[in-house]
């Protein structure tokens, strides 16, 4: 079976939003829990949806914390996000190869689209699935199953690419191949404990993987 589509996480995979996310969490926590959270404490919060995070940490003020987070995050977006080397070039090459590209992220739909425009690659993606497009976010299989349904492809024809455990587990729960990225802020060793099928040292490695699989079939 050949690979016909790639499902990409967004934050920390295609666009370096780590500093933005950490600084935003520090801002909302410093107001709510002065001096209790460090930057290192915020790193494990990268990946889950905001609702998952605040339902666990501030169950009595979930909506208020989400609103506060999003307001601060959006106002500092342009100054703090950065491109990863080779991502834009790789996406263009994959698109030229005829590989269909989809975003499957726990970020809200509009913020994903904003990020894709920031990278200048929005036109390369034919479908975007955000947290507000599904009932259950990764690692639940629903977002990936939704992508498969849209693409009308089998599980064997796609790879889920991401930087966090939720991406790998989500892919596994949906029965698709998975690829971790070595630039994950959680560290390669952490991601490898979830046994992705592939680990990308650089984004262009996914081109090699797709070509090798497709040449074998």
Tens of pLDDT, residue by residue over 185-211, are 999 999 999 999 999 999 999 999 999
Token pair belonging to 56: 């666990």
3-state secondary structure at position 190: helix
Q: Taking the mean position of all CA atoms in its chain, how far away is CA 2? A: 23
At residue 31, does pLDDT exceed 90? no
- pLDDT band at residue 127 using 50, 70 and 90 as cut-offs: very high
89 and 70 share a domain?
no
pLDDT tens-digit map of 11-21: 999 999 999 99
- pLDDT band at residue 217 using 50, 70 and 90 as cut-offs: confident
pLDDT tens-digit map of 84-109: 999 999 999 999 999 999 999 999 99
**132 in catalytic set:** no
Domain boundary among 80, 100, 117: 80
Residue range 62-82: mean pLDDT, rounded: 94
Please give the residue range of the domain that contains residue 204: 5-16+82-216
Kindly write down the DSSP assignment for every residue of the chain, as one continuous string: ----EEEE--BTTTEE-HHHHHHHHHHHHHHHSTT---HHHHGGGSSS-HHHHHHHH-TTSHHHHHHHHHHHHHHTHHHH-EEPTTHHHHHHHHHHTT-EEEEE-SS-HHHHHHHHHHHT-GGG-SEEE-GGG-SS-TTSSHHHHHHHHHHT--GGGEEEEESSHHHHHHHHHHT-EEEEETT-TT-HHHHHTT--SEEESSTTHHHHHHHHHHHH-
Domain boundary among 52, 80, 108: 80
At residue 25, does pLDDT exceed 90? yes
37 and 136 share a domain?
no
Percent of the chain with pLDDT over 90: 96
Rounded CA gap, 168 and 10, in Å? 14
Catalytic residue, chosen from 9, 11, 16, 163, is: 9
Domain boundary among 44, 65, 80: 80
3-state secondary structure at position 159: strand
133 and 56 share a domain?
no
């Amino acid at each position: 079976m050949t690979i016909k589509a790639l499902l990409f996480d967004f934050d920390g995979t295609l666009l370096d939003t780590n500093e933005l996310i950490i600084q935003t969490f520090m801002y909302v926590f410093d107001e709510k829990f002065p001096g209790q959270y460090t930057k290192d404490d915020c790193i494990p919060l990268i990946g889950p949806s905001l609702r998952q995070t605040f339902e666990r940490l501030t169950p009595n003020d979930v909506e208020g914390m989400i609103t506060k987070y999003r307001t601060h995050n959006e106002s500092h977006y342009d100054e703090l996000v950065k491109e990863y080397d080779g991502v834009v070039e790789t996406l263009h090459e994959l698109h030229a190869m005829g590989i269909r590209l989809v975003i499957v992220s726990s970020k809200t739909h509009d913020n994903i689209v904003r990020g894709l425009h920031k990278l200048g690659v929005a036109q390369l993606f034919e479908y975007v699935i955000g947290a507000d497009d599904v009932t259950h976010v990764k690692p639940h299989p629903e977002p990936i199953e939704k992508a498969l349904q849209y693409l009308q492809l089998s599980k064997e024809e796609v790879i889920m690419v991401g930087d966090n455990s939720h991406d790998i587990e989500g892919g596994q729960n949906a029965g698709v191949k998975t690829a971790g990225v070595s630039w994950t802020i959680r560290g390669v060793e952490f991601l490898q404990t979830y046994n992705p099928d592939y680990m990308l040292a650089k984004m262009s490695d996914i081109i090699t993987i797709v070509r090798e699989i497709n040449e074998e079939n």
